[in-house]
Structures are given as structure tokens and as C-alpha cells.
């Protein structure tokens, strides 16, 4: 199996990318506490996933309207999963579990 940036545009790649983005957001929060204080995590998930999908789409050989639509769906999935993971972790932390 080849690991390429285009893998991000697959269903499995979206899940892996969401986990990666969630981890990156946690690192950014440790380095810049203002991110957590201002609740910017959803915005970071939005931006990180957008950058990742744009890079994946730009590196793919076939850049058509159809692949652009698939890239949009990948971005939506990655951003939604990333935000969902963050919300779940936040709710567990706030409930003390």
C-alpha cells in the first residue's frame, strides 16, 4: 500500500486525518493556551482539515469537478469528525470521567 497525500480523500484516510488533526489541535493548545481559553478548537479543525484536503487535492493527478466534489466531501467528513472528537473529549473532561 502506498501512503500518499491523496489517501486523505478516502474514507479511511478521513478518519485517520481527523485523529491527526485532533492531536495537532491538542499540541497547539499546549503551546498557545489562548486557543483553549477562547474555544478556537472548532476553527482550528476547520482550517487544518481544509489545508490538508487542499494539499491532497492539489497533489492528485485528476483534478476534475467530480474529484473536487469528493475533496469537498472529504473535507466535510474530516472537519466533522475532528470537531466531534474534540466535543467528546471535552465532555469527558468536564464530567470528570
pLDDT in tens, 31-59: 999 998 998 988 998 999 999 888 888 88
Which residue blocks in 1-97 are alpha helix, DSSP H?
11-31, 34-37, 41-59, 65-95
**Banded model confidence at residue 2, pLDDT cuts 50, 70, 90:** low
In sign, the C-alpha dihedral spanning 37, 91, 97, 95 is positive
Q: What's the pTM?
A: 0.79
Specify the pLDDT at position 97.
Answer: 59
Judged on CB neighbours under 10 Å (0-12, 13-18, 19+), 20 is middle
Is the pLDDT at 28 greater than 90? The verdict is yes
CA distance linking residue 34 with residue 41, whole number of Å = 10
CA distance linking residue 97 with residue 93, whole number of Å = 6
Amino acid at each position: 500500500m502506498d501512503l500518499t497525500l491523496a489517501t486523505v480523500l478516502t474514507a479511511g484516510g478521513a478518519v485517520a486525518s481527523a485523529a491527526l488533526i485532533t492531536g495537532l489541535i491538542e499540541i497547539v493548545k499546549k503551546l498557545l493556551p489562548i486557543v483553549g481559553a477562547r474555544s478556537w478548537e472548532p476553527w482550528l479543525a476547520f482550517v487544518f482539515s481544509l489545508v490538508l484536503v487542499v494539499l491532497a487535492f492539489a497533489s492528485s493527478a485528476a483534478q476534475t469537478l467530480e474529484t473536487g466534489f469528493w475533496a469537498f466531501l472529504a473535507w466535510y467528513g474530516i472537519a466533522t469528525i475532528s470537531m466531534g472528537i474534540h466535543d467528546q473529549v471535552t465532555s469527558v473532561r468536564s464530567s470528570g470521567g
